[in-house]
Amino acid sequence: MCGTVRYYLAIDIGASSGRHIVGWPEDGKIRTVEVYRFPNGMKETDDGLIWDLETLVMNIRMGIEEAFKYFPDIVSLSVDTWGVDYVLMKGEKEILPCYAYRDSRTGPAIPEVHRRMPFEELYRRTGIQHQPFNSIYQLYADQTAGRLAEADAFLPMPSYLMYRLCGGKAHEYTEATTGGMVNAKTGEYDPAIVEALGFPRHLFPKLRKPGTVIGAYRGMKVVLCATHDTASAVEAIPMEGNELFLSSGTWSLLGMKIPSPLTDRKSMEAAYSNEGGVGCSLYLKNIIGMWLVNRLREELCPGKPWDEITAEAEQDGFDGLVDAEDPDFLAPESMKEAFDAKLAAKPASTAGYFRCAYRSLADTYGRAVRTMEACTGICRSKLYIVGGGAKNNYLNRLTAQATGKQVIALPMEATAEGNIKVQIRADIQEAGQ
């Protein structure tokens, strides 16, 4: 490998957009360039909120073609996405629709799941906080609807997208942990959970680790990165020691690395998750993030530049707060009306809604940090922020005030860099064998 620049392609897809980023090692760092970006989003249909799989795959392939124009000798690629969503398969054919995690179909499934295995036992086994969209509830809803009886496999979203490129089927560890069915001690799907819920055992294969090659596409190796975007983002953060991190995007994931999961009652009651990282466990809190301001912008001032929005919010005098963890903010028809319903007094201006959202997010971060330190017995002095939210200086200042931590904002493509970092490591390991 000496003397030759080797290029790697990260396909990083979030709930609102996707991007293709080529990276390579240079002077001890990973250099990156974005070659393609596309919009993504759930579609409201008669079936509910769904993902348009064919449009996703089309954009992935178009982005790869763009990457080839500039970098014809790419060594490998990998795809990371959000957690919990999956595609049911019958042979080589998808069982549609592919539901999106914000769809409300899991409502009746949740009490049935907990009747078969109480949440306290689920948490003791998995360490995953209760979220109505966790894969465990989605799969039970599919079982109730008769869809699992048709399926011979289900593929987590990033694995499905790589399957469409190379034909290799795999469940990767970090993504699988988000669904609420992976045993925190063994790092594999928990057979007791599968049996208690009556799921077909053949749907739950052995999990694969980041760095595993599962196939090839147009001469490039297709590699499993840490396919859950949060795990990839954390892998990229250049921390000095083991500090707090905040991956700030549509969702805000606030946490720290720990050597092994904490599945005690205190962690359960505080709603902390133990998700898979690369060689560690990620003790973190899922918080509704920039989704709040993104939806407010769509509704109140579409197209208005973010720097103007934040400047006006900072100058506004409205000081009301909402609970950014309130599930009523998850998928409201109107985000403005959702805020109005929670506030004793309504903002007098559009800027007041954004000020309220930013201050509420920072307040939630502060409470989450204090609870995390109480649960773990560990106090940290720094908070590293990555993702799109790291570019928001106003929110960063509010977060520093609310948490009492030194905020280090890294407006980098952290998820893509973590994706590429795993690919580089896999390439070096293969070359050394």
CA distances for 404 relative to 202, 272, 363, 367, 407, angstroms: 48, 20, 11, 11, 9
| Cα 47 from Cα 103, distance rounded (Å) | 10
Q: In Å, how far from its chain's centre is CA 294? A: 17
Catalytically active residues are 229
Per residue, the 3-state secondary structure of the chain, as one string, reads CCCCCCEEEEEEECCCEEEEEEEEEECCEEEEEEEEEEECCCEEECCEEECCHHHHHHHHHHHHHHHHHHCCCEEEEEEEECCCCEEEEECCEEECCCECCCCHHHCCHHHHHHHHCCHHHHHHHHCCCCCCCCHHHHHHHHHHCCHHHHCCEEEEHHHHHHHHHHCCCCCEHHHHHCCCCECCCCCCECHHHHHHCCCCHHHCCCCECCCCEEEEECCEEEECCCCEHHHHHHHHCCCCCCCEEEEECCEEEEEEEECCCCCCHHHHHCCCEEEECCCCEEEEEEEECCHHHHHHHHHHCCCCCHHHHHHHHHHCCCCCCCCCCCHHHCCCCCHHHHHHHHCCCCCCCHHHHHHHHHHHHHHHHHHHHHHHHHHHCCCCCEEEEECHHHHCHHHHHHHHHHHCCEEEEECCCHHHHHHHHHHHHHHHHHHHC
